[in-house]
């Protein structure tokens, strides 16, 4: 009987997980993996504390985004369009498109490189096109119910990094110490790398995706009108959303922690400190065992399959909501031409950037910098809308939540400014 009760609790908990888990897992995309790998290889465990430091900021921001979607019945861009200047919204969505296509390009390139580690006979360009078509096909030609289930189960791929961390030899006492005791040298390189870590952890595309996916989930359960979704919100649905979001963000940061630990405990200690891509990180792990190498390579591919649809989807949501187009993954292609056209365009640009031989690490840095620059501007709207009693009613921000939101904006703005000034 106790085993059955435990199993039922686990099943109930798993059923509550959805958009928050997928959003958190998508945050650990190949570009993020390359950033964390570079930081771990270059500085060892010195920056692993960032995985713990960013958790409350990331979780609070994503919870605000999810609450906006649940309470308003609209996506983030639709809310900004409804309550603020469309000129500001169009500028923000243009920047989001630029940052997202760079991320898509870098992720497609990393997935191709990861696959060629296992299947070297296949050309990278062919793999880039195949992965892009696969991601588009899943979004366009499957139902939202099937697609959401696929994304949810694909999050298990990230556990490969946990396995890698336990395969290699680590001093866990040292790992714990550096996790709890922050350290930074304030060098030019480290300042910029910290900005990249923040940019790839607290990313604008996640804000739009999280909000819109909460709306999609409500539509999936039959709430097809905005008024119906607004009427359906309850303390129970808010509580379930918080469980989902905080679990997803905890999972995301836990994976970040294990990537840092595994790379610092292997590559840094082995002297391989010049790691610029996830591909190089996987290759450098080969001496520590074939399983570690293969798991790391498979993780790159799996996280790309998870993250690229989120990147393309968040871009489509933002632009469609900005211009008042019909949108939603629950709609078929013929019902939302413009929405799906944005996805296709973003993917095509990502493909083209790989064919002109975009430098992976340069693309990563540009994408991270773009995320760092536009994140504070979008977060301004997130905090203002989620804290507005006229819009959110009894579900508006607690003063402490708003304080964390404004602090996040300050931290992101300061890191972006510091990174820019470090190169002057």
Residue 423 has pLDDT above 70, yes or no: no
Residue 130 has pLDDT above 90, yes or no: yes
Residue 330 has pLDDT above 80, yes or no: no
Task: Look at residue 377 in the predicted model and tell me its pLDDT.
Answer: 86
Average pLDDT of every residue of the chain:
82
Residue 60 has pLDDT above 90, yes or no: yes
With respect to residue 12, please indicate whether it lies within any of the assigned structural domains: no
Percent share of the chain, pLDDT over 70: 80
With respect to residue 276, please indicate whether it lies within any of the assigned structural domains: yes
The average pLDDT across 269-289 equals 65
The average pLDDT across 246-257 equals 90
With respect to residue 9, please indicate whether it lies within any of the assigned structural domains: no
From the list 67, 11, 62, 69, the residue with the least C-alpha distance to 317 is 69
Question: How many alpha carbons lie under 13 Å from residue 219 in its C-beta half-sphere?
Answer: 22
DSSP letters spanning 25-75:
HHTS-HHHHHHHHHHHHHHTTTTTHHHHHHHHHHHHHHHHHHHHHHHHSS-
Task: Look at residue 165 in the predicted model and tell me its pLDDT.
Answer: 80
From the list 301, 303, 333, 302, the residue with the least C-alpha distance to 316 is 333
With respect to residue 381, please indicate whether it lies within any of the assigned structural domains: yes
Give phi and psi for 48, each to the nearest 5: -65, -20
Range of the domain at 313: 19-422
Residue 97 has pLDDT above 70, yes or no: yes
Banded model confidence at residue 1, pLDDT cuts 50, 70, 90: very low
Radius of gyration from C-alpha coordinates of the chain: 20
CA angle 101, 296, 208 (to 5 degrees): 30
With respect to residue 13, please indicate whether it lies within any of the assigned structural domains: no
With respect to residue 197, please indicate whether it lies within any of the assigned structural domains: yes
Write the CATH number for 351: 1.20.1740.10
Tokens 């409350």 map to which residue?
Answer: 56
With respect to residue 4, please indicate whether it lies within any of the assigned structural domains: no
Structurally, the chain folds into a number of domains equal to 1
Task: Look at residue 152 in the predicted model and tell me its pLDDT.
Answer: 64
With respect to residue 14, please indicate whether it lies within any of the assigned structural domains: no
């Amino acid at each position: 009987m106790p085993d059955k009760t435990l199993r039922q609790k686990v099943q109930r908990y798993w059923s509550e997980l959805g958009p928050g888990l997928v959003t958190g897992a998508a945050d650990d995309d190949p570009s993020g993996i390359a950033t964390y790998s570079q930081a771990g290889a270059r500085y060892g465990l010195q920056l692993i504390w960032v995985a713990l430091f960013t958790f409350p900021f990331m979780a609070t921001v994503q919870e605000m985004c999810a609450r906006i979607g649940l309470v308003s019945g609209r996506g983030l861009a639709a809310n900004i369009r409804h309550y603020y200047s469309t000129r500001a919204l169009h500028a923000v969505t243009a920047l989001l498109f630029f940052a997202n296509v760079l991320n898509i390009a870098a992720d497609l390139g990393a997935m191709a490189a990861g696959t060629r580690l296992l299947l070297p006979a296949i050309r990278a360009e062919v793999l880039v096109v195949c992965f892009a078509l696969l991601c588009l096909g899943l979004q366009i030609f499957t139902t939202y119910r099937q697609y959401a289930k696929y994304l949810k189960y694909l999050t298990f791929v990230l556990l490969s990094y946990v396995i890698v961390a336990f395969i290699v030899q680590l001093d866990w006492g040292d790992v714990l110490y550096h996790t709890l005791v922050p350290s930074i040298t304030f060098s030019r390189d480290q300042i910029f790398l910290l900005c990249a870590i923040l940019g790839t952890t607290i990313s604008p595309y996640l804000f739009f995706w999280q909000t819109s996916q909460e709306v999609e989930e409500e539509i999936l359960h039959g709430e097809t009108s905005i008024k119906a979704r607004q009427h359906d919100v309850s303390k129970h649905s808010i509580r379930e959303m918080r469980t989902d979001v905080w679990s997803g963000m905890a999972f995301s940061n836990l994976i970040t922690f294990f990537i840092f630990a595994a790379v610092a405990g292997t590559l840094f200690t082995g002297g391989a400190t010049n790691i610029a891509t996830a591909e190089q990180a996987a290759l450098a792990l080969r001496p520590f065992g074939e399983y570690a190498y293969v798991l790391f390579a498979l993780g790159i591919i799996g996280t790309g399959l998870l993250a690229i649809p989120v990147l393309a989807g968040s871009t489509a949501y933002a632009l469609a909501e900005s211009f008042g187009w019909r949108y939603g993954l629950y709609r078929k292609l013929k019902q939302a031409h413009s929405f799906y056209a944005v996805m296709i365009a973003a993917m095509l640009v990502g493909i083209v950037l790989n064919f002109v031989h975009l430098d992976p690490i340069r693309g990563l840095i540009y994408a991270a910098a773009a995320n760092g620059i536009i994140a504070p501007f979008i977060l301004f709207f997130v905090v203002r809308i989620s804290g507005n009693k006229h819009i959110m009613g009894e579900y508006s921000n607690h003063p402490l939540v708003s304080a964390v939101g404004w602090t996040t904006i300050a931290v992101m703005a300061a890191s972006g400014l510091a990174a820019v000034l470090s190169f002057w």
